[in-house]
Amino acid sequence: MTLSEKIILAIAIFVAGFMVGIKFEIGVMANNELAAVHARESDAIQQRRLIDNAAAAHAATLATLNKQLGDAREKIANLSGRDCLDPGTVGVLNAVGADAGPAAASNPSGPTTAAAAGTGLRFSTDKDVAGFIAVCRARYAELASQLNQILDIEDKRHPMP
C-alpha cells in the first residue's frame, strides 16, 4: 500500500468516524427532545387530573350548599312574616351594589334613587331577610369553594421552593 493510499484510507476512516459522531450526537439530542415531550405530556395529564379532582370537589360542595339552602328555605317558610325593615332601610340595602350612574356619584349624600322615586318599596319581612341572608351565605360559600379550588390548583402547579 502506497503512502497516498494510506492517507486516503486514514481520511476515509476519519470522515466515517466524524459522521458516526454526528449521528450519535443527533440521536442524543433526539432522545433529549423525546424525554422533554414525555415530561410535558405527563405534566399535562397530571394537571388535568388535578383540575378534574378540584371540579369534583367543587361540585360536591355545590350539592351540599344547595341541599342546605333548600333546608333553610323550608324553615324560612315557617317564619311569621312580620315586618322587619322599613322601606327606607330596604331602599338603602337595595342601592348597595347597584349600578351607580354619574348622578349618584355627584350626589352621594342624597337619598337613593329607588327610595326617592317611591317605587313601591315596602317593609321587608323576617322571611324576606332570612331568605336573602341564606342565599347570600350560600353564594359566598360557593365562591369561596371555587376560589379555594383555583388556589389549590395554582399552588400545585407552581409549588413554593
For 118-128, the pLDDT digits (tens) are: 556 688 888 88
Judged on CB neighbours under 10 Å (0-12, 13-18, 19+), 23 is: exposed
83 forms beta bridges with 125
pLDDT for position 71: 92
The answer as to whether 109 is a domain residue is no
| 3-state DSSP assignment of residue 84 | strand
- pLDDT band at 139, cuts 50/70/90? very high
Helices 126-157 and 3-77, interaxial angle, to 10°? 170
Measured CA to CA in angstroms, residue 64 lies from 69, 101, 132, 138, 148 at distances of: 9, 38, 18, 10, 16
The answer as to whether 16 is a domain residue is yes
C-beta atoms surrounding 51 within 10 Å: 15
Domain encompassing residue 141: 3-86+123-157
Average pLDDT estimate for 113-118:
44
The answer as to whether 129 is a domain residue is yes
The answer as to whether 101 is a domain residue is no
Question: What string of DSSP letters covers 110-123?
Answer: SPPHHHHHT----P
Tens digit of each residue's pLDDT (9 = 90 or more) over 53-101? 989 999 999 999 999 999 999 999 998 888 888 888 888 888 887 776 5
The answer as to whether 69 is a domain residue is yes
pLDDT for position 21: 79
The answer as to whether 95 is a domain residue is no
C-beta atoms surrounding 57 within 10 Å: 14
The answer as to whether 100 is a domain residue is no
pLDDT for position 24: 81
The answer as to whether 70 is a domain residue is yes
* pLDDT over 70, % of the chain: 86
Average pLDDT estimate for 22-41:
87
CA angle (155 as vertex; 151, 159 as ends), nearest 5: 165
pLDDT for position 102: 53
Please tell me the total count of domains within the chain. Answer: 1
- pLDDT band at 110, cuts 50/70/90? very low
